[in-house]
């Protein structure tokens, strides 16, 4: 099975009219054509999870759990109904090649049926198997992969393969499309400059809508997968009243458009919002103009390439209970004095957002914020991203984490359960970078060879806060280092002969120095404050059990272990 997994549109379609399966109550279509359907259910007491995969084929079918949507590290089962009866085995993949049969077969086949042109395979396993060749199922979203063939020759599967991210243990059902109304926010035959990195911003006017509506589904419209790195859509204040297109961050009317409405990252899928929240558009006091920002990554600096990528947003006049908001939290970009050393196998950067200061720029009391989705974002050196939630100085949860972060698979994560940010809580974003293959320092910036450390937090009810960034106080850093010349300290960091000891000292120092926090909203109001990075817990460990009668999933919060 060769590299799987093109980005397919997310299609959440609850069944209608059918009695719910009490043993496997959850269901998702894994492909956009509804040819691959998955049902599942699990028992906390028994520590087991059961899957039922139904595929429109009479050939072999494959299903797996992957750390990043690819083959490497995936836990896979392959089965079918052959001439000599049923076949079914547990595999694991070490790379982009045919997977290897597991020495320990941890999956149990319950049934395999071929009828009416489709194959239905039902199987189970422990939620946490002690087999090192199996994928550990946790409370975090997992990339499900699938592939199938027209015959029982497993080596042939053409283009019938794909991936979809699902939180198996904290699944949140999605509604079907309510109607066919949508708005396209796209570039139009834009000539991509022959530059490594280019940000293009287009301000466009939204068609007039009769009253307030809610957008509930976001689909990427990608015309050049090799060029488009990420897209952000902002609404504009009433002061912006003309269309415009120019390079981003160079002024112009779009410079005042700060309210983030939608987003997409390379490798991402379409996504739908839950039935009780939507992105408000139209009606009185709502914006007419929107700014689409696209980051083009053109490392070959090809000339003559044109692009019409963007986003398609579906909307309805059936209003949901809540307006949705997006909070951009993380490290300030650019942050001129911040450098990530070369030759580091795991360098950690931190940013803190103190929600106690939201009230500095808001006229009304700040409500509890219900977080439902998050998109994590770094550039090429990023390997891990964790977002911790702190209350009264103590970490109470992780809003999100990805210990297998993949630059090519930046997706909106469905948390599967609502997590609450209360006024005064702190949000800490931690990014781990790998620079062992780099000779010079890496700075925070816009190019993919620069770095970012951001978490786009999707929540309700919406409040008028858009960005909550921080950066180390470089004046405090200079004082700690005994330096007085700002340019001199920056040059020293760039030219320093780094080794593992000095890298560790630099990481600890950048975390220890006070942070300068910056919070802003779409009305250009902002506040600046000083804060500190609290200690973040180690990633919770998950125990395993080879005894299916025991509870197989136990999460331990090692409060004494800090990073």
* Active site members: 199, 377
Could you tell me whether strands 310-316 and 182-186 are parallel, antiparallel, or unpaired per DSSP bridges?
Answer: antiparallel
User: Is 352 exposed, middle or buried, given 0-12, 13-18 or 19+ CB atoms closer than 10 A?
Assistant: buried
For residue 461, whether the previous peptide bond is cis, meaning omega lies within 30 degrees of 0, is yes
Strands (E), 153-309: 161-166, 182-186, 190-191, 197-205, 213-221, 228-235, 244-247, 259-265, 271-272, 277-281, 289-297, 306-307
Closest CA to 262 of 216, 199, 222: 216
Alpha carbon distance, N-terminus to C-terminus of the chain? 39
Q: What is the DSSP letter of 508?
A: H
Q: Which phi and psi angles does 494 have, rounded to 5°?
A: -75, -35
Beta-carbon contacts of 116 under 8 Å, excluding residues fewer than 6 positions away, are none
Residue 83 CB neighbours (<10 A): 5
Q: What is the largest CA-CA distance in the chain?
A: 80
Residue 436 CB neighbours (<10 A): 12
CA angle 142, 92, 398 (to 5 degrees): 25
H or E element in which residue 308 lies: none
- Cα separation of 396 and 290, whole Å? 37
366: tokens are: 């700040």
């Amino acid at each position: 099975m060769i590299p799987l997994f093109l980005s397919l549109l997310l299609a959440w379609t609850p069944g209608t009219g059918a009695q719910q399966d009490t043993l496997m109550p959850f269901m998702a279509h894994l492909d956009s054509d509804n040819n691959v359907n998955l049902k599942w259910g699990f028992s906390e007491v028994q520590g087991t999870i059961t899957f039922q995969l139904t595929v429109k084929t009479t050939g072999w079918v494959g299903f797996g759990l992957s750390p990043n949507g690819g083959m490497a590290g995936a836990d896979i089962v392959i089965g079918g109904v052959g001439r000599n009866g049923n076949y079914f085995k547990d595999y694991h993949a070490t790379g982009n090649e045919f997977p290897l049969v597991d020495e320990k077969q941890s999956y149990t086949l319950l049934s395999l049926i071929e009828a009416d042109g489709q194959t239905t395979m039902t199987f189970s396993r422990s939620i946490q198997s002690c087999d090192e060749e199996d994928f550990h199922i946790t409370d975090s979203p997992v990339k499900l992969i699938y592939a199938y063939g027209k015959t029982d020759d497993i080596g042939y599967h053409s283009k019938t393969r794909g991936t979809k991210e699902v939180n198996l243990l904290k699944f949140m059902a999605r509604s079907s499309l309510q109607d066919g109304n949508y708005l396209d926010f796209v570039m139009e035959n834009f000539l991509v400059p022959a530059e490594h990195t280019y940000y293009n911003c287009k301000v466009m006017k939204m068609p007039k809508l009769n009253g307030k509506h809610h957008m509930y589904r976001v689909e990427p419209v990608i015309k050049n997968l090799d060029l488009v790195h990420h897209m952000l859509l902002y609404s504009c204040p009433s002061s912006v009243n003309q269309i415009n297109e120019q390079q981003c961050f160079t002024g112009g009317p779009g410079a005042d458009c700060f309210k983030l409405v939608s987003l997409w990252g390379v490798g991402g899928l379409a996504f739908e919002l839950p039935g009780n929240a939507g992105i408000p558009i139209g009606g009185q006091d709502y914006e007419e103009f929107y700014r689409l920002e696209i980051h083009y990554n053109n490392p070959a600096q090809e000339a003559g390439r044109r692009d019409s990528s963007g986003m398609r947003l579906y909307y309805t006049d059936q209003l949901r209970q809540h307006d949705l908001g997006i909070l951009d939290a993380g490290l300030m970009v650019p942050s001129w004095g911040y450098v990530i050393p070369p030759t580091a196998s795991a360098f950690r950067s931190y940013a803190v957002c103190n929600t106690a200061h939201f009230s500095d720029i808001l006229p009304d009391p700040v409500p509890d914020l219900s977080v439902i989705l998050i998109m994590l974002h770094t550039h090429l050196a990023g390997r891990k991203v964790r977002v911790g939630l702190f209350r009264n100085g103590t970490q109470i949860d992780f809003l999100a984490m990805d210990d297998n972060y993949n630059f090519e698979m930046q997706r909106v994560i469905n948390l599967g359960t609502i997590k609450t940010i209360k006024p005064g809580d702190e949000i800490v974003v931690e990014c781990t970078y790998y620079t062992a293959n780099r000779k010079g320092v890496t700075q925070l910036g816009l190019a993919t060879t620069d770095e970012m450390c951001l978490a786009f937090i999707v929540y309700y009810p919406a409040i008028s806060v858009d960005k909550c960034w921080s950066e180390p106080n470089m004046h405090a850093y200079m004082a700690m280092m005994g330096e007085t010349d700002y340019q001199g300290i920056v040059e020293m960091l760039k030219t320093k002969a780094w080794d593992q000891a000095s890298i560790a000292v630099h990481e600890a120092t950048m975390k220890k120095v006070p942070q300068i926090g910056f919070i802003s909203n779409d009305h250009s109001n902002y506040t600046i404050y000083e804060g500190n990075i609290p200690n973040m817990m180690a990633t919770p460990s998950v125990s395993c059990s080879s005894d299916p009668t025991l509870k197989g999933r136990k999460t331990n919060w090692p409060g004494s272990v800090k990073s």
